[in-house]
């Protein structure tokens, strides 16, 4: 029988490799794993519990909040608050930074998350997910606040995501490798299924919403057009795959290689995706796995956010495809 390594056991083993670890990050990751299991159940039972559809709320992005968005946000908030190891927290569904009372505990970490990415697709039974990133607070001796959150991706201490589909998967990194887990419904635990995930150096898939074609600039259109051509410099025509759920499209790109694009357009000069809790964590994961995430000019993990809900274009995937795409954008070759 193959030994089963659970998520909690694996996290604990990683902690032992750091002699000065205090256990707080371990506890925080345990809590995120628990919240993900609860959200997985929420998503699986939403249809007959009447949780599809919208609330009467509008979030800071101007988007109507789905019932499942709100429920997933509340689960993460409750679990992480009871954990007690974050000082500052940002959610896509909340206008402002949430802080813990400074007098109660001097917490080391700041957490940002998208509680339910792709929730507009949930009624169509398309996979959705959760994305998170963890930083060390800039000044843990000071009261927590927004400054804790406005850090570049190179300062990330942990990042990950979950995908709720035909199975529930959990992928995370603390910087020394990207590891994948699958939820075993019989025992109610995430078990290790992939250790040291590496994004292929090159792939055969491009992923982008071509419905925005007319809104792209000429260089972006030219690059996407060339991807389809059999005589392009990459040596093969690429196949199009686009789910419309960021976390699902990224998960496929991580495992199979190729390139995912959510570029700027004439209506959104800085794109649609959020830098802090979408682009930074996924770009950090891609970086650790041997890939690249860029906004078209610089690596996403080098960008320091100016606001918690700042938007960012994203070009992410295998090195070969991303570097070639950047050549087109920057040199028009």
- The strand order across the sheet containing 156-164 reads 98-99, 86-91, 109-117, 128-136, 156-164, 168-173, 178-184, 189-194
Least confident of 75-89, 102-116, 225-239: 102-116
Cα–Cα distance measured from residue 183 to residue 110, given in angstroms and rounded to the nearest whole number:
26
Q: What is the pLDDT of residues 29-62, one digit of tens each?
A: 999 999 999 999 999 998 888 878 888 788 777 7
Return the pLDDT at 157. Answer: 97
- Identify the residue with better confidence: 65 or 93: 93
**Average pLDDT of the residues of the chain:** 92
* Residue in 15, 35, 38 with CA at minimum distance from that of residue 25: 15
**Adjacent-strand bridge partners of 178:** 173
Helices 246-256/280-288 angle, 10° precision = 10
Does residue 148 contact residue 157 with C-beta atoms inside 8 Å? no
**Adjacent-strand bridge partners of 158:** 134
Cα–Cα distance measured from residue 266 to residue 253, given in angstroms and rounded to the nearest whole number:
26
Computed from CA positions of residues 16, 87, 56, 278, in that sequence, does the dihedral angle turn out positive or negative?
negative
Return the pLDDT at 21. Answer: 76
* Residue in 169, 170, 177, 100 with CA at minimum distance from that of residue 140: 100
214 DSSP 8-state letter: G
With bands split at pLDDT 50, 70 and 90, how would you rate the model's confidence at 3? low
Q: What is the pLDDT of residues 7-25, one digit of tens each?
A: 999 999 988 887 777 889 9
Distance of CA 178 to the CA centre of its chain: 13
**Adjacent-strand bridge partners of 261:** 315
Does residue 132 contact residue 161 with C-beta atoms inside 8 Å? yes
Q: What is the pLDDT of residues 166-222, one digit of tens each?
A: 999 999 999 999 999 999 999 999 999 999 999 999 999 999 999 999 999 999 999
Q: Name the pTM for this structure.
A: 0.95
In CATH, what number does 205-331 get?
Answer: 3.40.190.80
With bands split at pLDDT 50, 70 and 90, how would you rate the model's confidence at 105? low
Average pLDDT over residues 254-281: 97
- In the chain the first and final C-alpha atoms are separated, in Å, by 54
194-224 core/surface letters (b: 16 or more CB in 10 A; e: else): eeebebbebbbbbbbeeebeeebeebbbebb
Return the pLDDT at 102. Answer: 54
With bands split at pLDDT 50, 70 and 90, how would you rate the model's confidence at 141? confident
Cα–Cα distance measured from residue 141 to residue 139, given in angstroms and rounded to the nearest whole number:
5
Helix (H, G, I), strand (E, B) or coil at 113: strand
Average pLDDT over residues 85-95: 92
Helix (H, G, I), strand (E, B) or coil at 282: helix
> What is the DSSP code string of 25-65?
HHHHHHHHHHHHHHHHHHHHHTGGGT--SEEEEE-TTSPEE
In this predicted structure, the answer to whether residue 104 has a pLDDT above a threshold of 70 is no
Backbone angles phi, psi at 280, to 5 degrees: -65, -50
In this predicted structure, the answer to whether residue 236 has a pLDDT above a threshold of 80 is yes
Domain extents in the chain = 7-194, 205-331
Residue 253 contacts by C-beta under 8 Å, 6 or more apart in sequence?
199, 203, 205, 207, 259, 260, 316, 317, 318
Q: Does domain 7-194 have CATH number 3.30.540.10?
A: yes
**Adjacent-strand bridge partners of 132:** 113, 160
Q: What percent of the chain has pLDDT over 70?
A: 97
With bands split at pLDDT 50, 70 and 90, how would you rate the model's confidence at 1? very low
C-alpha radius of gyration, the chain, whole number: 19
Cα–Cα distance measured from residue 208 to residue 95, given in angstroms and rounded to the nearest whole number:
28
In this predicted structure, the answer to whether residue 252 has a pLDDT above a threshold of 90 is yes
């Amino acid at each position: 029988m193959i030994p089963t390594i659970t998520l909690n056991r694996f996290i604990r083993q990683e902690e032992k490799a750091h002699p000065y670890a205090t256990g707080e990050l371990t506890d925080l990751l345990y809590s995120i794993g628990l919240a993900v299991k609860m959200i997985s159940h929420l998503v699986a039972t939403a249809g007959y519990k009447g949780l599809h559809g919208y609330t009467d709320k509008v979030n800071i992005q101007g988007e109507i909040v789905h019932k499942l968005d709100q429920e997933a946000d509340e689960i993460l908030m409750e679990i992480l608050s009871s954990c007690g190891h974050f000082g500052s927290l940002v959610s896509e569904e909340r206008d402002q930074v949430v802080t813990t009372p400074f007098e109660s505990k001097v917490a080391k970490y700041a957490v940002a998350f998208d509680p339910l990415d792709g929730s507009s697709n949930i009624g169509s039974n398309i996979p959705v997910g959760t994305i998170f990133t963890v930083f060390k607070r800039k000044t843990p001796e000071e009261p927590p606040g927004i400054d804790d959150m406005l850090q570049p991706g190179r300062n990330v201490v942990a990042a990950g995501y979950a995908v709720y589909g035909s199975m529930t998967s959990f992928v995370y990194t603390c910087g020394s490798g990207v590891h994948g887990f699958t939820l075993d419904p019989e025992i109610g635990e995430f078990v290790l299924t992939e250790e040291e995930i590496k994004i292929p150096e090159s792939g055969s898939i491009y992923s982008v919403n071509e419905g925005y074609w007319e809104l792209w600039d000429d260089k972006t259109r030219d690059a996407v057009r060339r991807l389809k051509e059999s005589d392009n410099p990459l040596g093969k025509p690429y196949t199009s795959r686009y789910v419309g759920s960021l976390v699902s499209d990224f998960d496929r790109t991580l495992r199979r290689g190729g390139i995912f694009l959510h570029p700027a357009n004439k209506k959104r000069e800085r794109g649609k995706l959020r830098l802090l809790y979408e682009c930074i964590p996924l770009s950090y994961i891609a970086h650790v796995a041997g890939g690249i995430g860029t906004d078209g000019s610089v690596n996403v993990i080098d960008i320091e956010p100016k606001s918690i809900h700042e938007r960012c274009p994203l070009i992410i995937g295998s090195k070969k495809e991303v570097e070639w795409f950047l050549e087109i954008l920057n040199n028009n070759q």
